[in-house]
Structure 1
Amino acid sequence: MSHSIPLITTIATALGLALVLGFLAIRIKIPALAGYLLAGVLIGPFTPGFVANTEIAAELAEIGVMLLMFGVGLRFSLDDLMKVRKIVVPGAAIQMAFATALGTGLAATWDWGLGGSLVFGLALSVASTVVLLRALEARGALESMNGHIAVGWVVVQDLAMVLVLVLLPPLGGWLSGKTPVSGAANLWQTLGITLFEIAAFITLMLVVGRRAFPWLLWQVARTGSRELFTLCVVATAVSVAFGAAKLFGISFAVGAFFAGMMMRESEFSHRAAEESLPLRDAFAVLFFVSVGMLFDPMILVDQPLRVVAVLGVIIVCTPIAAAGLVLVFGYPLNTALTASASLAQIGEFSFILAGLGGRLGLLPLEGQSLILAGALISIAVNPLVFKAVEPLQVWIRSRSLLARKLERPDDPLAELPAATSEVYLSGQVVLVGYGRVGRRIGEKLAEQAIPFVVAEQNRELVERLREGGIAAVFGDASDPGVLIQAHIAQAGMLVAAIPDTFRVRQMIKTARILNHGIEVVVRTHSEEEAILLEREAAQKVFFGENELAKGMSHFVLQRYGKAPSDDMVAGSSD
């Protein structure tokens, strides 16, 4: 074939090499994202051998940004954020300000100017949502309280970055000093116009998009065509992003984010996320590969101390600040360490911000390379950081009196009130976790007037439970002190309604030591974990898929007039 095919060559090379390096990354227990970035480095202009078409790669990356941000919008849950707002909103704001100040100060010592230093600092302050979600999913912690706080934290970071992406272009000339705004009036006028445009776009999305997108999905879903449904989702994401850029001067990323938020209003939002996932993943890979193409590996040789300084901000300073903030807000050490491990990396928003800073003439190429170096290394070591959480927790608790005081301050929520009735102090059920499962269990116990005490890690939820007259203590129930405050020694039953096997095993061990005859009931999502927990002396283990099958089978047999087995009746009644 004699004619040039740069588009096909770029896509084939990028996806093929990303597949190989992503597979190798997974095999050595690091996120595949590191492999994708490395693939970009190998086909980039700074390494020998084949060089992909950078212009085509940049356009493919723009599509990747649209679909990536569309997916973030689809996942954004205001309800989940509101549950942990009292810690994640101020916590994320303070942590981002701290990391931005460190990064800005660091870049200022390199004489990058105000604009470049600020963009650099902001890029170091925001963690990768993709890396975080996959790390929590791999550990089965996504639905835990720690997971909710970590995800809420990065959602606040993402929202802050959306605002930065909106405001940076009109401020770019002033920050760079190359095209200074003549007077404060012109600056405020530029900002006013930009804010008016974004307000007009958001209003259009809320008034029209909130109704039009769900209606459109419903009409397409009625056709029964799966490919048409997928096409509708992707076309909406790309079209809204393009329209927002052309009509309102808003970046593709921001437009796609709001399109995803509006699409979430539809009852088909979960299907929209599922159907568009393969295409989103494919273009996200191309985005990360194109980002890797911007990385100059010589930065590791020429500026090793600067790379170390960047990693110090990402892997050391930011996690320490986050852990300290979580402890100050009165949460357990386990939550603090999980949050800090979650934030010990940077990713997609850092890349988007670095690219925008480069196009605006604010961030030098060296800055982009340092950000990419920090991202590559921090993403690669993040699994090791997560693995260090448990042993570090044990070490800190055993060595640091200050940490123990911070973890369990003089907090009225950490113990039952003195006026608590005797019925909650002996023979009661200790219910660990008051999420979707725990709440339903609590409601059933209340209906039958069975006394129970809730042990929950969400401070705000404990406050609401007490206001509603429910006995509750705040803290991590894997900590013996929390179970002691729930009076586990005199309890009749321990019900662990959380799916965290490691922590549940710790609870069972503590409960058995303090109350040898206590009955233990736990839940799990895995058959292997169910077997393990039964070996830990749990009297009853509820395995999600098994219980669902029992309930459905029981219903079918009843409809056909067949008597279900005793085991099935017991399962369906739980």
Structure 2
Amino acid sequence: MIFTLVIGLTLALVLGMLAQKLKLSPLVGYLVAGMLAAQPWWGEPVDAHIVEDFSHIGVVLLLFGVGLQFHIKDLLAVQKVAVPGALVCMLTVSLLGMLAFHFLGMGDVAWVNSLMFGLCVCVSSTVVLTRVLGDNRVLQTPTGHTALGWLVVEDMFTIILLVLLPAVFGGQELGPALGMMAVKLTLLVVVVALFGRKVIKQVLTYISRYCSDELFTLAVLVCALGIAVLSATVFNASMEFGAFLSGMVVGQSKFASRAASDALPMRDAFAVLFFVSVGMGFHIGGLLEHWPLALATLAICMLAKPIMAAIMVSLLGKPMRLSLMVGGSLSQIGEFSFILATLIAGTYKLLPMEAVNVITGVAIVSITLNAALYRFVPLAVHKLEDRGIGTQHAHADSIPAAADDVYRILLVGYGPCGELVSQVLRRHDMEVVVLEMNVDTVARLHKEGLPAIHGDASNRTILRLAGVEKAKAIIISSAAAPAMPIASAARSLNPDIRVVAHTNYIRIAQAIAQSGDAHAFAGEAEVALAMTSHMLRSLGATEEQVMRECGENRRRLMGENA
């Protein structure tokens, strides 16, 4: 057993690091590690059953983590787009997957088996999507919020499937089985939500006050596994649903943050073994044998699903850029596809293991290509917007040219920083034109009678609509905005414009400051200087000493242009 765990985890570590170095998801490394661990190279055979047993714990903790981080407010914030968009998209992808498996699958198969295959490929990976959005710094943007809300719908859909599978395919008559399942699930939810919440709260409160940290971690683990086992043995529900439910209960308590910090590392370790076990069951020969189905499934995941998602987001009133960015982020499948496929094939025998093999191969390819595809989407959008495609919504809101006696300033971003800057400048009779990527914020500004343009400020068409040729300055208030491309685009249309930028990093601020009439504020430097000033004042330094010290350090950090 130890040999098996060492080989599996070591390969996962090395290949996960390599994948991350190549800017791929570590999941690719874990799956390839499983493929290598299954080879007869190690002198002693690697026991796939041991890895599979540990992977079951990983699945339970994976669903516990989903419940722990499940926030309905993420869905409510974008419900008008995420709910109908995700449901229609999942239905379409499921139907396409069903047709592909029925006509290109493993011989003459029943439609119910084909439907199971379609359901397995209609959900995207939360792990991959959040990583891609985070790497591209759009997680906290309208694109990120919409994509996360979309994933919440897909997660809920997966949980419902995990609940229904035992009732529908448990070997009993469908009507009575569904009725009994509804009763048992209601009891389970009541027991966990009411009785369980009080017990869990009291236990965790006592342990956090009087016991060691490792006992708190153990208590969280017992909650996750205990409720999962309870749901399976007493209420005949899936362990995955019980784990999700226990995660939701703990996640709504005051111990949510501590439980996440303690339990999620355990989840990650066991989840790695789950992905390794999936990789161990993958055989490239079987994938090549069923290459028509594999290619069709890959096309469904990487072409049909993102295109359908982009169409739905666009039809629901969102701009082209957001539609394409959300669609691009969903062009992959991952952990939930594995969970559903292994459960459907292993427990209910509704899919052959060759189908799981195809899903695994498609997942490896789609996860590998997803990061590259997502980096291509903004470039494609930029090219389209340069040609006036996708900016039609902004033309109606174009800003008239500024009079000679008007001091016009373009303000990129209208978060807390941008809003404060806007209020101060307007009080001093300056005309502020906001350029904002959040279409809801732009609509709110229009209702308030304030000039605003929706679009990417690095796009020349958008800058012209905002009247950049007559503007005196452009203030980039959002650190998430691409400051260098925006400054370059603005100067290409108005060489005399002054650039003031907010960035996260000193190196970017230095580059902007050296590019002409510009000044940049780096979060790294400003926080360091503010903390230094606070400490000097608290120690009795004079204002002159504080200003001198900050000035010297600012020049040291930012250069002589600071």
What is the deviation of 1:316? 1.7
Aligned equivalents of 2:63, 2:148: Cα separation in 1:
16
TM-score of the pair, normalised by structure 1: 0.84
Match of 2:369 among 381, 399, 413: 381
1:565 equivalent to 2:559? Answer: no
Which residue is equivalent to 1:294? 281
* 8 A Cα contact 2:146 2:326, kept in partner: yes
What is the deviation of 1:441? 5.0
What is the deviation of 1:429? 4.4
Matches within 5 A, 1:129-278: 129-172=126-169, 181=173, 187-208=174-195, 213=200, 217-223=204-210, 225-278=212-265
Aligned equivalents of 1:261, 1:379: Cα separation in 2:
28
Seen in structure 2, the aligned counterparts of structure 1 residues 116 and 487 have a Cα distance that, compared at 3 Å, is same
SS of equivalent to 1:498: coil
Seen in structure 2, the aligned counterparts of structure 1 residues 466 and 240 have a Cα distance that, compared at 3 Å, is farther
Seen in structure 2, the aligned counterparts of structure 1 residues 128 and 265 have a Cα distance that, compared at 3 Å, is same
Which residue is equivalent to 1:499? 479
Which residue is equivalent to 1:480? 460
Unmatched runs of 5 consecutive residues or more in structure 2: 555-562
* RMSD, aligned α-carbons: 3.4
Which residue is equivalent to 1:112? 109
Q: C-alpha deviations, 1:277-326, integer Å up to 9, x for none?
A: 33222111011011122223222331222211111111122122223333
Identity %: 36
Which residue is equivalent to 1:184? none
Which residue is equivalent to 2:413? 433
What is the deviation of 1:45? 8.3
Seen in structure 2, the aligned counterparts of structure 1 residues 415 and 396 have a Cα distance that, compared at 3 Å, is closer
Which residue is equivalent to 1:539? 518
Which residue is equivalent to 2:442? 462
Seen in structure 2, the aligned counterparts of structure 1 residues 50 and 306 have a Cα distance that, compared at 3 Å, is farther
Q: Could you tell which deviates more after superposition, 295-304 or 368-377? A: 295-304
Which residue is equivalent to 2:397? 415
Letter in 2 for 1:237: A
SS of equivalent to 1:162: helix
Which residue is equivalent to 1:56? 50
Q: C-alpha deviations, 1:429-467, integer Å up to 9, x for none?
A: 433333455456556667888764433323334334444
Letter in 1 for 2:377: V
Seen in structure 2, the aligned counterparts of structure 1 residues 441 and 67 have a Cα distance that, compared at 3 Å, is farther
Q: C-alpha deviations, 1:166-217, integer Å up to 9, x for none?
A: 12221225xxxxx583xxxxx3442233234334434444445556656655
Q: C-alpha deviations, 1:77-99, integer Å up to 9, x for none?
A: 33333332222222212221111
Seen in structure 2, the aligned counterparts of structure 1 residues 17 and 50 have a Cα distance that, compared at 3 Å, is farther
Letter in 2 for 1:192: G
Letter in 2 for 1:459: V
Letter in 1 for 2:547: S
Seen in structure 2, the aligned counterparts of structure 1 residues 566 and 380 have a Cα distance that, compared at 3 Å, is same
Aligned equivalents of 1:480, 1:529: Cα separation in 2:
21
What is the deviation of 1:372? 0.7
Which residue is equivalent to 2:324? 337
SS of equivalent to 1:454: strand
Which residue is equivalent to 2:560? none
SS of equivalent to 2:215: helix
Aligned equivalents of 1:30, 1:94: Cα separation in 2:
29
* 8 A Cα contact 1:521 1:540, kept in partner: yes
Which residue is equivalent to 1:70? 64
1:529 equivalent to 2:508? Answer: yes
TM-score of the pair, normalised by structure 2: 0.85
* 8 A Cα contact 1:330 1:408, kept in partner: no
Letter in 1 for 2:502: R
Unmatched runs of 5 consecutive residues or more in structure 1: 1-5, 174-178, 182-186
Aligned equivalents of 2:237, 2:428: Cα separation in 1:
56
Which residue is equivalent to 1:310? 297
1:519 equivalent to 2:498? Answer: yes
Seen in structure 2, the aligned counterparts of structure 1 residues 234 and 484 have a Cα distance that, compared at 3 Å, is farther
Letter in 1 for 2:300: V
What is the deviation of 1:363? 1.3
* 8 A Cα contact 2:287 2:357, kept in partner: no
Letter in 2 for 1:355: T
Aligned equivalents of 2:430, 2:210: Cα separation in 1:
50
1:101 equivalent to 2:95? Answer: yes
Which residue is equivalent to 1:176? none
Q: Could you tell which deviates more after superposition, 100-109 or 334-343? A: 334-343
Aligned equivalents of 1:225, 1:429: Cα separation in 2:
57
* 8 A Cα contact 1:21 1:35, kept in partner: yes
SS of equivalent to 2:139: coil
Q: Could you tell which deviates more after superposition, 202-211 or 58-67? A: 202-211
Letter in 2 for 1:169: P
Aligned equivalents of 1:217, 1:438: Cα separation in 2:
42
What is the deviation of 1:73? 2.6
Aligned equivalents of 1:102, 1:216: Cα separation in 2:
48
Aligned equivalents of 1:446, 1:169: Cα separation in 2:
62
What is the deviation of 1:25? 2.6
Q: C-alpha deviations, 1:36-70, integer Å up to 9, x for none?
A: 11222233489998643333322211111122222
Which residue is equivalent to 2:558? none
1:351 equivalent to 2:338? Answer: yes
Q: C-alpha deviations, 1:241-291, integer Å up to 9, x for none?
A: 233333333322222223333333345533432333332221110110111
What is the deviation of 1:539? 3.0
SS of equivalent to 1:298: helix
Seen in structure 2, the aligned counterparts of structure 1 residues 337 and 410 have a Cα distance that, compared at 3 Å, is closer
Q: C-alpha deviations, 1:480-521, integer Å up to 9, x for none?
A: 3333444444445433233335x3333222322344444333
Seen in structure 2, the aligned counterparts of structure 1 residues 546 and 275 have a Cα distance that, compared at 3 Å, is farther
Aligned equivalents of 2:74, 2:366: Cα separation in 1:
27
Aligned length: 545
* 8 A Cα contact 1:214 1:265, kept in partner: no
Aligned equivalents of 2:51, 2:342: Cα separation in 1:
13
What is the deviation of 1:370? 0.9
